[in-house]
Amino acid sequence: DTEVTQTPKHLVMGMTNKKSLKCEQHMGHRAMYWYKQKAKKPPELMFVYSYEKLSINESVPSRFSPECPNSSLLNLHLHALQPEDSALYLCASTGVPGGTGELFFGEGSRLTVL
């Protein structure tokens, strides 16, 4: 199984809503990532979890709250978002934190904030 699965694929939410994005992998990878991608732009790193601990937070606003309940699962909790937060949110994983190898990406969750 070489997949990173993200749910939901599409999400529409109001600025006062609370929602969550979910990411799951069963490849035994110990590093998991959240990226944000706007249209016609490269992915921007948001968070990195290594061995289930937050290792990198790229100065992301607190309305985005990541969580790594276990080594296979990564969540991104969303609260009080702004319309400019509308984007494709990509999850990725890799085998060894700090090592160098292929990042496996999910298909993304497309978020629209009204």
**66 lines the binding site for other proteins (CB under 8 A):** no
**106 lines the binding site for other proteins (CB under 8 A):** yes
**110 lines the binding site for other proteins (CB under 8 A):** yes
**90 lines the binding site for other proteins (CB under 8 A):** yes
Asked if 65 contacts 47 with a C-beta cutoff of 8 angstroms, the reply is: no
Q: How many amino acids of this chain bind other proteins (CB under 8 A)? A: 25
Looking at residues 25 to 54 of the shown chain, list those that interact with other proteins (rule: CB under 8 A): 33, 40-43, 45, 48
The residues near 74 (Cβ < 8 Å, ≥ 6 apart) are 22, 23, 24, 32, 34, 49, 66, 67, 68, 91
